Amino acid sequence: MTISGSKAKWLIGVAAVSLCVNLFGVGLIAGHRIYGPGFFGPGGPDGPRRGMEAMIAGVPEDLRPMIKEKFEAAKPQFQAQRKEIKAARDKLAAAAEADPFDPAAFDQAFGDFQQAMSGMGSIAHQTIREILPQIPAEQRKQLVEKWSKRWGSKSGDGPDGPPSPPGDAPE
């Protein structure tokens, strides 16, 4: 049986995509075997940190319980704000996908999303503001230096001012 014309082109395209997917899968398996589980992102020993893990990275051991306690106390606020962010993100996605596209609805949804993100930052700011006075000045200076190195800033200030809180909200 011979296949010709558009069916042949279609079959060759499917075969090429299948080959690419298989090669990608083999590459993932090989990378996992060679570099270990951390190679593929969070969860590995060298993967990016998030939440509380990011917040306490580099913090002296004696300060960690106090920081965890403060963020644990704010956890309900963070969780509520995460729900607002998700709702705003869903609304933004719906506005972006709408047909016909409504620029005013998109702008409103984007503004709502920005406001929800800002709310998360405000909760983190307030929590950090409660923590910092309880840390001796020399240790605060060391924390700022570590955060600055982490975000590629030589001084304590980045291009938009002082460093923002590390990572997402606590998990």
| Residue span of the structural domain in which 32 resides | 6-40
Asked if 39 and 32 count as a contact pair (C-beta separation under 8 A), the reply is yes
Same domain membership, residue 115 and residue 86:
yes
Residues 77 and 124 in one domain: yes
Separation of CA 23 from chain center:
28
Q: Is 156 in contact with 71 (CB distance < 8 Å)? A: no
The answer to whether position 169 is within a domain reads no
Profile the chain (171 residues) by mean pLDDT over runs of 10 residues.
68 67 64 54 50 70 86 92 94 93 94 93 90 88 78 54 46 41
Same domain for 137 and 66 = yes
C-beta atoms surrounding 128 within 10 Å: 17
Spatial separation of the C-alpha atoms in residues 76 and 119, rounded to whole Å: 13
pLDDT score of 44: 47
d(CA 43, CA 54): 12
Domain-embedded: residue 69? yes
Predicted confidence at residue 60, as pLDDT, reads: 78
Provide the number of structural domains found in the chain. 2
User: What pLDDT is recorded for position 89?
Assistant: 93
CATH code of the domain in which 132 resides:
1.20.120
Asked if 56 and 36 sit in the same domain, the reply is: no
What does the pLDDT read at residue 108? 95
Query: What is the pTM for the complete model shown?
Result: 0.55
Residue of 85, 57, 54, 77 lying closest to 130 (CA atoms): 77
